[in-house]
Amino acid sequence: MSLLPRPTAPMPAKPVADRFGRVKRKLRVSLTDRCNFRCPYCMPETPDFMPRADRLSRDELQRVLRLFVADLGVNRLRLTGGEPLLRRDLEAVIEECGELRPLGLERVSLTTNAALLARRAEGLQRAGLDDLNISLDALTPATFEKLSGGRGVAPVLDGIRAARDAGLSLKLNTVVVRGMNEDEILPLTRWAVRERLSLRFIEFMPLDGRGEWSRERVVSQAEILERLRSEFEVEALPRSNDPAAYYRVGSESEIGVIATVSNPFCASCDRLRITADGSLYPCLFSQRGTSLRELMRSGADDVALAASIRDTVWHKDAGYAAHPGYVERPIAMNSLGG
């Protein structure tokens, strides 16, 4: 009989939760606030990007992610931005995330505009990426260009094709802004049904860097469904804890709607966010973050870091549902990630 001690499985972490009892399992990690697009619903007109030295180093990032997974119970990471494909070391970041799987990490996902995806899809799959969300606001070239700040739709469609060829599972996301792309709802749906792609429409949220949001510009879930019903049989599917409500459209396809403004899902929110410079924002609508970078650079150990994270999360606000309307905030979506 062997006298060696039996290997033990890691102790499950005590999950981090807020004062409303919402346990956090998902962390969105913004890798950069820079972007090759200028979507008007997201970016300020003249963005003031953070200096590179302010960004978390790879070691700092890995330390924070390890803490979230091993000590705080997070089991899903989503890498976002800005545009995460602008990071040349994205594949390396994904490989390093893979080291956290034995500690409890279940999925590593990516959110991207896909303009630079075609040449990197296979490498991302090899690095261990589990799935990706691709933003696609229009198929009509002129409308796409208006919504991307002058970039073309063709490279994005190439990126989608390459991701499928690489065997990556993907979802498409479309932000609908009145006066810009509500006429794309049906063409995008027809295309997604034909291509058997999963598509979700997102209500325009009051987080744009230009302060142009108004209620009138939000195309609500009800209106999106009305447009879908003008052409398809639409049947509501049972709700899960996904932020999107899903509908069977036609005989086989599923279309989702994320109705943050008209029907917020704050009561079941299990997400947290960190910016590229290491600020923890417990909610998309938080007015300020806690700088984990400052704590690390001033010598805090992991116990102090975890305590600060738990405290910030504990004080997370009820969410958009509790105080809807325009949100005054020093940073826009390109800094916080979507």
- Residues in the site for ligand SF4, rule: CB under 6 A? 35, 37-39, 42-43, 81-83, 113, 135, 333-334
Smallest gap from residue 311 Cβ to ligand SAM (A): 27
> Binding string to ligand SAM for residues 123 to 152, with x set by CB under 6 A, is what?
------------x-----------------
Shorter beta-carbon distance to ligand SF4: residue 100 or 134? 134
> Distance of CA 186 to CAs 139, 160, 161, 181, 191, Å?
11, 19, 21, 10, 9
Query: Between 212 and 235, whose beta carbon lies closer to ligand SAM?
Result: 212
**Taking CB under 6 A as the rule, does residue 33 contact ligand SAM?**
no
Applying CB under 6 A, among 113, 148, 275, 291 the residue interacting with ligand SAM is 113
- Determine if 188 is a binding residue for ligand SAM (CB under 6 A): no
Number of residues that bind ligand SAM (CB under 6 A): 21
CB of 135 to ligand SAM, least distance (A): 4
CB of 129 to ligand SF4, least distance (A): 18
283 binds ligand SAM (CB under 6 A): no
Task: Check binding of 42 to ligand SAM (CB under 6 A).
Answer: yes
72 contributes a contact to ligand SAM by CB under 6 A: no
Closest contact distance (angstroms) between CB of 334 and ligand SAM is 6
* Shortest separation between residue 79's beta carbon and ligand SAM, angstroms: 9
Q: Min. distance of Cβ 40 from ligand SAM in angstroms?
A: 9
CA dihedral (61, 64, 67, 69) positive or negative: negative
Report, in Å, the least distance between residue 177 CB and ligand SAM: 8
Within residues 224-253, the interface with ligand SAM by CB under 6 A covers none
202 binds, among ligand SAM, ligand SF4, none (CB under 5 to 8 A by kind): ligand SAM
Q: Which is nearer to ligand SF4, 43 or 331 (CB)?
A: 43
CA-atom Rg of the chain in angstroms:
20
Position 207 contacts ligand SAM (CB under 6 A): yes
Q: Which does 265 bind (CB under 5 to 8 A by kind): ligand SF4, ligand SAM, none?
A: none
Q: Which CB sits closer to ligand SF4, 81 or 256?
A: 81
* Residue among 124, 129, 205, 306 that touches ligand SAM (CB under 6 A): 205
Going by their DSSP bridges, the two strands 198-203 and 253-258 should be labelled as parallel
Asked if 137 and 152 touch (Cβ cutoff 8 Å), the reply is no
Q: Does 110 bind ligand SAM (CB under 6 A)?
A: no
Amino acid at 214: S
Q: Which is nearer to ligand SF4, 35 or 225 (CB)?
A: 35
Strand 198-203 and strand 169-176: pairing?
A: parallel
Cβ neighbours of 241 (radius 10 Å): 9
Task: Measure the CA–CA gap between 104 and 88, rounded to whole angstroms.
Answer: 27
The residue ranges that bind ligand SAM (CB under 6 A) are 35, 41-42, 80-81, 83, 111-113, 135, 173, 175, 202, 204-205, 207-208, 333-334, 337-338
